[in-house]
Structure 1
Amino acid sequence: MDAGAQGAVVAGVNEKLRAARLDRGWLSQEQAAEGISAAGRLALDDPHFAVSERTYRRWESGTPGWPRPDTAAALRTAFGLNPEHLGFTPPPGHPASLNVSEDPMDRRSFLATGSLAALAVIDSADVTPRHIDPQLVPYFYQQLNGHYAADMMLGPRDLIGTVTEQYRLISGLARAAGGPVREELIRVGATYAELAGWLHQDAGQWDTSAYWHGIAQTDAQMIGDVDLVAYTLSNAAHLRSDLGDGRAAVELCQLGLGHDGLSDRIRVNLMQQQAHGHSLLGPGSRAEVDSLLDAASRVVEGVDPEIPWGTAARRNAYFFEVQRATCYGRMGLHREAQDIWSVINTGMPPAARRDTGVYLARQATAYAALGEPERAVDLARTSAQVAAETRSARHLKELDVLRKGMRRWTKDPVGRRFEEALRPITV
């Protein structure tokens, strides 16, 4: 048995399978059993294939044996991972027990959880032309707006499974549709792929996020939508900024802005993401940051907020203040950042709970840098509670930055109060 399989079970729990289930968005073992059953029926073309909840519970609660070939195929389809990477114990002499992959299908082949079922396993019925009602397009856009709202309240992990499954549905409908309906379905599908990319990014799953951004870009290029292609570049730049690669973020946005005929809303997305890229290049980039955000704030006035994607800047009253304060914080301009955060965090709507938690952490970091730890502790307490509820890796990263900023008070009473404030995310 390889070291990975040996380390998969801790105190009678198959941690690898459990982690894969949660990444897939299945919060219960019953959902996992149903999802694996559906994946198996798809992969095996067997309408009767099923995994019971009892069987799945056994897999996750102890050391499972090696699955039958049909069950192994279902697991691969459901998770994009071979059984040995899900905590299953290969028998002696099996290639997996010798650290040799049973087949080339590993995590690098399927960076997005569930992406095999969404893209690679296509039944012949999926591509048979048939009538698809055009009213499905506005329906999916309406659902997309609901997902945007839920993301601000819940965080990423509760939505990943739903959004990726809806992309699978939309993609299947697009394969069967023709003419303008096909193009519109591909367009709305690309926006779902971008949302999936963001959700994985917010959950700290960088490789999977990059995969979904790539899927969105491929769909956009397939229909030749200049705005959509440039929008995918702005979101790829956002991912690079989160990874600390400011130069790549700037260059991706320059590439997007080089497209002819861009709408105002996409120019706004590119300019504000380019500002974030510059902010990672050091305090000397303040002029570029301010220039880009000022220009974007002027352009945004011409954007229609009713367009279902790419219009966050028009629908959020504090959008540019948030971008500027975030950039200033990165550049070490903490007094300037604090002045902006104090306005933002007193006016955020209750529905934007996840974002408010992130902003409070950033404001607390500014207070710590300015030598005001008591104020930082007060904000950290609320921020940590939100982080524990939404499980946003981006939020946890902000609190980690705050923790480093509070180190100089570790031995003081205020330092102990700070650690108590963070208790919701440390339990």
Structure 2
Amino acid sequence: MGVAASVGMNIGHPKTASPAGDATLLAASRTLFDNYRQLGQAAGPGALLPALIAQTHSLRELSARTGAHTREGLLRLASRYAEYTGWMMQEAGNDQGALWWTRHAVELAAAGGDHDLAAYGHVRHALVTLYRDDAAQTLDLARQAQHSKLPTRIRGLAAQREAQGHALAGDYDACMRSLDRARALLTTPASQSDGPPIIGTTNLPDPVAMITGWCLYDLGRPGEAAEVMSGQMALVPPHALRTRVRYGMRRALAHAMAGELEHACDLAERLLPAAATVDSATITMDMRALARTLARHPKNAAVRRVSPELSTVLRFVNSK
């Protein structure tokens, strides 16, 4: 049971918490959120979703029993739990659930006085359409989150998503312009232990560089993509398994598409155990693409070595 859930056993009773107690509750719930995000790097979504959903509901209910300042803080934090729940829903392969929880996150944030998360909701929605290969909707959603009055981080993440949409559409110049905008906006550090949770990834030291590699692959430049992503993978923290597998598989796929089959197989082979652990529907899409690419070279020794294990992991994640 989470901190807020355990404290919330008396929901429905009159407010009795002191200001100091309110502050402790908010701080403990914030720390717990960081712990859940860290756990999400090393566990499948099924292990997190029940706790995240319960924590979101508990924080929302507890907000009615606190002072005005803490109430806003709890609702805003509940919105971040809901947004993260939406991401885990997408990782579990439930796009409709992902979109529902993203909308719920926007509602909770607005109730807590944060009206900017609505724009980030467009960025999250655009990630769903990106994985559906819908360039037009990805671009439309990303552009809705780039109003000049929005926080620079949200605008930067939206510009980054727009770049991915342009890459899907095959527009190299527009993609690079969007990446330039994203780099100019994403200048603040991706760590914020004493404030609200940072929006977006915290495990990529240079997210724009990594997304540049991602885009180059979609633009049909797998060799360039592999080179860029190889340099960035060395900077990803060892504990960030989900991040390492996500971009590592895309890197392996880029090497395979560039004809570097042995290197692609070596990379994939090292990632497969972690891929089974994090159990990601989005990563599985790149694994399937890698399997199809390798299948074109049945006589290659490295392909024959890796393909059975790759097929086993794909059967495992598809069966869940």
**1:118-267 to 2 correspondence within 5 Å?**
126=11, 130-132=15-17, 133-258=22-147, 261-267=149-155
Deviations 1:303-347 (A, max 9, x none): 573143334467631312221111111221111101112212233
- Give 1 or 2: higher helix fraction: 2
Distance 1:304 1:377, change over 3 A: closer
Deviation at 1:233, TM superposition (A): 2.1
Task: Determine the structure 2 residue equivalent to 1:340.
Answer: 228
Task: Give the conservation status (yes or no) of the 8 Å contact 1:155–1:354.
Answer: no
Deviation at 1:224, TM superposition (A): 4.3
Distance 1:233 1:348, change over 3 A: same
Deviations 1:188-245 (A, max 9, x none): 1100000000011112111111111111122223344232222222222222212222
Task: Give the conservation status (yes or no) of the 8 Å contact 2:49–2:85.
Answer: yes
Deviation at 1:170, TM superposition (A): 0.5
Distance 1:356 1:142, change over 3 A: same
Task: Determine the structure 2 residue equivalent to 1:401.
Answer: 289
Classify the secondary structure of the residue corresponding to 2:40.
helix
Deviations 1:354-381 (A, max 9, x none): 2112222111111211112111111111
**1:355-394 to 2 correspondence within 5 Å?**
355-394=243-282
Task: Determine the structure 1 residue equivalent to 2:307.
Answer: 419
Instruction: Please point out which of 256, 276, 281 is paired with 2:164.
Output: 276
Task: Give the conservation status (yes or no) of the 8 Å contact 1:268–1:313.
Answer: no
CA distance in structure 2 between the aligned counterparts of 1:315 and 1:396, rounded to whole angstroms: 20
Distance 1:314 1:203, change over 3 A: closer
Q: Size of the alignment, in residue pairs?
A: 303
Larger Rg: 1
Task: Give the conservation status (yes or no) of the 8 Å contact 2:71–2:112.
Answer: no
Task: Give the conservation status (yes or no) of the 8 Å contact 1:200–1:206.
Answer: yes
Distance 1:131 1:386, change over 3 A: same
Deviation at 1:300, TM superposition (A): 2.0
Deviation at 1:253, TM superposition (A): 2.2
Task: Determine the structure 1 residue equivalent to 2:180.
Answer: 294
Task: Give the conservation status (yes or no) of the 8 Å contact 1:384–1:399.
Answer: no
Deviation at 1:411, TM superposition (A): 4.5
Deviation at 1:291, TM superposition (A): 1.6
CA distance in structure 1 between the aligned counterparts of 2:96 and 2:115, rounded to whole angstroms: 25
Classify the secondary structure of the residue corresponding to 2:46.
coil
Q: Which has the higher contact order (CA 8 A, sep 6+)?
A: 2
Task: Give the conservation status (yes or no) of the 8 Å contact 1:237–1:248.
Answer: yes
Classify the secondary structure of the residue corresponding to 1:221.
helix
> Residue 390 of structure 1 aligns to which amino acid in structure 2?
V
Distance 1:331 1:394, change over 3 A: same
CA distance in structure 2 between the aligned counterparts of 1:131 and 1:232, rounded to whole angstroms: 35
Matched, 1:330 2:218: yes
Task: Determine the structure 2 residue equivalent to 1:44.
Answer: none
Deviation at 1:412, TM superposition (A): 4.2
Task: Give the conservation status (yes or no) of the 8 Å contact 2:142–2:158.
Answer: yes
Deviations 1:275-323 (A, max 9, x none): 2222222x2x222222222222222224573143334467631312221
Distance 1:352 1:304, change over 3 A: closer
Deviation at 1:251, TM superposition (A): 1.5
TM-score by length of 2: 0.85
> Residue 296 of structure 1 aligns to which amino acid in structure 2?
A
Task: Give the conservation status (yes or no) of the 8 Å contact 2:262–2:303.
Answer: no
> Residue 309 of structure 1 aligns to which amino acid in structure 2?
P
Classify the secondary structure of the residue corresponding to 1:158.
helix
Identity %: 26
> Residue 409 of structure 1 aligns to which amino acid in structure 2?
H
CA distance in structure 2 between the aligned counterparts of 1:176 and 1:314, rounded to whole angstroms: 32
